[in-house]
Chain A
Amino acid sequence: MRKIILLVLLLILAIIISFPILFMLGGSIMGNSELSSYLSPVLNDKPGFVHWSLIPNYPTLSSFVALLLDSPEFFVMFWNSIKITFVILIGQLIISVPAAWGFARLKIPYKNALFNLYVILMLMPFQVTMLSNYLTLDKLHLMNTHYSIILPAIFSTFPVFIIHRFFCSIPESIMEAAQLDGANKLQVFLKLGIPLGSAGIVSAMILGFIESWNLIEQPLAFLKDKTLWPLSLYLPNIGLELAGIAFAASIVAIVPSLLIFFGGQEHLEAGIAASTLID
């Protein structure tokens, strides 16, 4: 009985939490006239209040057709997002994994102080570091290029923090046993550390993907040329007359994140749990 009540309660909460997705799904198959009638009070300054229907009166796929066949700029931004995201992920793999191993396993003077500095930097919002980033990128002549987004993200502290937790959980005795067998430090890292910490690495990649896929502030601040904009900046440029396309674009934009999430769901749970433990 308790389980049923709990289940019902959780279902209700789940539905409520799913409302934004359901709104988006319903709006993506509505015609423009129906959307205008619902959204005019807020987007056209008409009197009255916004009202909405989860199930459209006149469903149509015209928004998807217009988006996928008549909006080439959407695909430019989509592939920009793919490029930025995957280059960031590869960069983070190359940079963050060894950094996390170093913090977890190596005996470096002032290692803890440095790691605490990492954590402090990780906690700082973008607005705090934006100006210093801007000046640095400008000096490096990287403004208005994808590298202005990619390079700071590659050297992000968050994946280091996540992977570090997993590397810390590997027992020291395994390392010692490997060293006794003649493995050097690089072999221990490559053959033992990475496989044993793969869960953390995967969860860091997934979180990194979601973060990179939804970047808004950095592209707005550092990219002036619209041909370089990622998909996250496509939506703010659409008004009431293209509301249907806006909903369809939202659905298409959310698909990669959903698929990545389903692909690494197990590791993501572990990663989120690890990220909440800040020693």
Chain B
Amino acid sequence: MSPGKWVTFLCLMLGIAFLAAAAGLIKPISQQRRVYDFEPTNPFHEEKLIAEAGVGRLPLEVLTVFRFLAINYLWIRAEDLKNEGQYFDALHLSRLICELQPNLAAVWDFQAWNMAYNISVGVPTPPERWNWVRAGIELLRDKGIVLNPKSAKLYHSLSWTFRHKVGGIADDHHRFYKWYLAMDMVPLVGEFPDNTEIEALAQAPTDWQQVLADADVAAFVEKLRQSGGFSDDEDLFAALITSKLDPGKYADPFIELLEENVQAPAYRKLDLFVRSRELRFKWKLDPTEMVKINAKYGPIDFSVEGGIKHLCLEWRHPATHALYWALQGLKIEEMDEFNESTLRRQVHHSLQDLFHYGHIQVIHFATPSRATERAPGQEIMDQPPPPELGNVFFSEDLRLFPVAYQATLDIIRDREAAGESVRGFRDGSINLGRSGVRELFLAGYKDTAEIYLNDLRERYPERLLFQVATIDEFAANELRDDARDLTSKNARGYINGLLRAGYRAVALGNDGLAKSRNEWARQIYDILLLNDPEQGRLNLPPLEDMRWYALLRFFDDPSITWVLKNVMLQKLEREQPVIFEELRKEMEQREQASSGQTPGN
């Protein structure tokens, strides 16, 4: 054998030896990967999940050590691009980075945060911003969590993004995010979601062939395909959903066929399948899980006596999505204490948000193509033009107080059981309980308010404010506290503000809140009169007059949109024709006065 061949042989042997030695390290490396949670899923199961998620995984093994060089380079470039304002490119690189490091939850978390929080504020218009916020949400929900199902951090981040970025008010365009989310959810859960509908969605078949097995449905689908010219089932599904909001986008025969069959069982069956599928595949919301969450955390129906009945949660609300994802995160087994605690807080805060802003009212639901702005100078009594964009309003939902309060108690109980400090949680629970009891009392749910006052009294004997004989006494004390700081300068403004808030709640259809604000104003008024021994020092006009002035101020207030004012007018015309007529006259007089005319002319 020549020396060259000897060298070749030696190299080959060395190579085999190194390979064998490396193979021996596979077991400890795998063990380490499991310890650090790099391999959270069974590869076979993961394949299925990936296929479901539609994730096209890169052949990472092929890249060998260059993968890490590529990751480094991509991180630097993505950051540079972001700094230079080249967001389109940055988005794709971020996705690529995540796919190169699919099992590192922190990477998904960082990139999603970057998209939803940092990059989104760099783009100027609401639709562009929403694209970034949604991209962040989708990155976590559709890919990050699928590939890292044991990462509580990702569930928390997703829940936080829904609650804080979309549901909060920190972003300039937060109203648009809420509107976009509501617009996306309305075709799926309906304009007024209820338990029956969500249960029907949960029971809808999940297999398309099973749906088509029904001859009536199959025939209807065939007609739809022909009328709309759909060769692909996905296009048909999309059309069935988007046509609810934007029928003008589709051929007339298709829309007419849908309208003709609106009561047909075949359409109903098809519709439920398509909506349920959209919820499961696109939104990753399992209708069965939604039913369970409604049953546990849904708002309380106060009209039911002698038991608790949970109504349907407002699935158009970002806090409900936050609640859903926090609860999904809590299902992870073997979670560390910190993650569990943060997820529980998310549940608690989501429910609190739903209590404070959970009542949602969408007025004149409009797609962008139909929306216009009211021309400048037009007055509210004029014939209204087509509705403007984004008329989504949020207000307090009293029915969620019991649920939110119970969530605080659950956290306290769990923390106490674990021997952890509950001080902050107790304060939070007390404040929530205090405001809830007062709101319930003012809204007329005196018995319910009393139940919660009793509970607070027993739990917190050291808090003197709860140690009162009756709910009336508690409410009187609360209102006296409010009235104590009122002077002749601000008393009128305070009452006026409450009354106007009441009118706003009327316009939003939130009767409980309207009643609460009205009652609050009345009681404060009474207290002020009682505390005014000289009967006139505060110079308060009669309450009825104050109501009338507050109504006028409601229509003068530039911060209240014309849409709400218009809804209020329609309600008045329908329910209070006398007041409506007086208001109309007043408005006409004002307009004539402002144009230099007198009524006699």
> Are the chains A and B members of one assembly?
no
Residues of chain A touching chain B, judged by Cβ–Cβ distance below 8 Å, are: none
Residues of chain B touching chain A, judged by Cβ–Cβ distance below 8 Å, are: none
